[in-house]
Amino acid sequence: MTIKLLLAATLFVSSVFAQDYTKGNLLYSNDFSSAKKLKGWVMEGKANVEFKDKMMHIYSPNEGNHHVYWCPKDFPKNFIAEWDAQNYKTDAGLCIIFFCAKGLKGQDIFDSSMPKRTTGDFEDYIRGAMNCYHVSYYANGRDHPGRLIANLRKNAGFHLIESQEPGIPILSTAVHHLKLIKSEGQILMYVDGRKIIDWVDDGKKYGPIYGEGKIGFRQMQWTHFAYKDFKVWEIADSKK
């Protein structure tokens, strides 16, 4: 086998292996169908959370504030998360998923030692007192209309890691299925089965690989999205 063919075969096997993650134990499940299902969730920034047609709608009154809605559970360093999302305001908006979120010293993001976050200010999450990864999987902000491309960043530091594939189509009002995989340094994300993020954190260039932490849903102030069926699993046979 030539070197070129060997390299191609290696890349193919690596690509298949990277996507071949099996779901283990279900860690968390929330259909987002009613307010009682959101007990313990924490909103940072002003936003309305309403329920219609068995979906959770989030938007800021009068487009006043960016906002982040945090799941109260800590998830392990290796997980598979899935949820559905639907756009109700196609003229402008931006959706982000934060994950592996912890304080710079490893503390819980709601620990009393952490600075208060009440306004949804982006700086608190990207250059503040926490570490996390985030993916912007819908990108049509009024500040950058029609961006389309999904970004993966590593914080603190707002390091742009990957920016190649479009996320949710900006004019779509369909329900889209999102899937996020974090396995050691491997990060993968899909929209309706289409891969939009595929990156391996080497734990060196941008600091150590992040482990367990919290997951949060962020919207910029112009956004009105609805969500349902948020589930998180362990990865079968992975080290917790």
pLDDT by residue (tens digit) across 161-179? 999 999 999 999 999 999 9
Q: Is the pLDDT of residue 15 over 80?
A: no
Q: Considering the chain, what is the average pLDDT of its residues?
A: 92
Distance CA 59, CA 223 (A): 6
Categorize the per-residue pLDDT at 229 as very low, low, confident or very high, splitting at 50, 70 and 90.
very high
Q: Alpha helices, DSSP H only, in 20-163? A: 123-126
Domains, in order of start, for the chain:
24-235 (2.60.120.200)
Bridge partners of 132, per DSSP, are 155
State the CB neighbour count (10 A cutoff) for residue 21: 21
The tens digit of pLDDT for each residue in 103-149 reads 999 999 999 999 999 899 999 999 999 999 999 999 999 988 999 99
**pTM of structure:** 0.91
The C-alpha atoms of residue 201 and residue 185 are separated, in whole angstroms, by 4
Instruction: Give the helix/strand (H/E) hosting 214.
Output: strand 214-219
CA distance 82 to 53: 19
